[in-house]
Structure 1
Amino acid sequence: MKKILILLACVLSFTVAETEFAEPKPAIDNPRQLVFGIPSGDVKEINRILSTVNNVMKFYRPENTEVVIVAYGQGLKSLLKKGDADVRKRIEALMTYDVEFIACGNTMRTLHIEKKDLLDDIGFATAGIVEIIERQLRGYTYAQP
């Protein structure tokens, strides 16, 4: 009985803290602008990043976010039509919520990947890391899961 009371006291002592929104609060006319990078070709790592994006969008709601995901290095393989089927489905699902995916042109040249090899509706940048930097300078927050 004593153990149960101690356990109950411990559970009750934990309080759930609500996240307090910074001003201005996220809204349709003032969305949270976020940029993520996919630098790794490791499927577990890619899925972790995609899960993080999904969680962020659930929290803020899709209409209150502008999310950009830049794939570079081995991470560019996540955008291949012939890539991992589960990753491809997750990317296509995020695209239905207007998540923008951008492929690194430098990596495409290095890995000999052509635009036709990539999923439809992918954006392109000369250099992926520069795209991330420029997005930050335009007010996007770089989020690293």
Structure 2
Amino acid sequence: MLFNMDILRKLSRPACRPMMQAFRFYCDNPNRNLITFPVAQIQEGKSKYMMAYVYIHGEMANAKIVIRSNARAKYHLDVYDELQKEASEKGLCTQGLGGGYMVHDPEKKYMKLYGRSTTLGKADHENAREVLQPSYTDHKIDAESGGMEP
């Protein structure tokens, strides 16, 4: 006896739909949060900046590099604490990669990355420039050479 595939689909769809929706909610939510997590949030003027990995707990292989700056932060750790709070609200984890200073002039479309954080260490400014460039295509971004110190 041959089954008509249309009839089989109609019969199985109501039974599978609730399970698939629950599965999709459980699996896609962390991935969606990681994909939509903003790569760069930069303030204008001179500010402390930090670079970090944001990832789903236990899945470091899919980590995303993000940059955050804050002109009002007293310490680089203040910038990192804000990032950790933002990531944990979305169920994500963070790992700091270093910090430095940034000058951002939106009128001149210019950024400069330099220096280091005493607590977090020096960020790889060249890598930070590569992360920022797609978000700020119209900006000239200068990065202090040298990258990570050994």
TM-score (norm 2): 0.30
TM-score (norm 1): 0.31
**Highest CA radius of gyration, 1 or 2?**
2
Structure having the larger proportion of residues in helix = 1
- Greater RCO (CA < 8 Å, at least 6 residues apart): 1
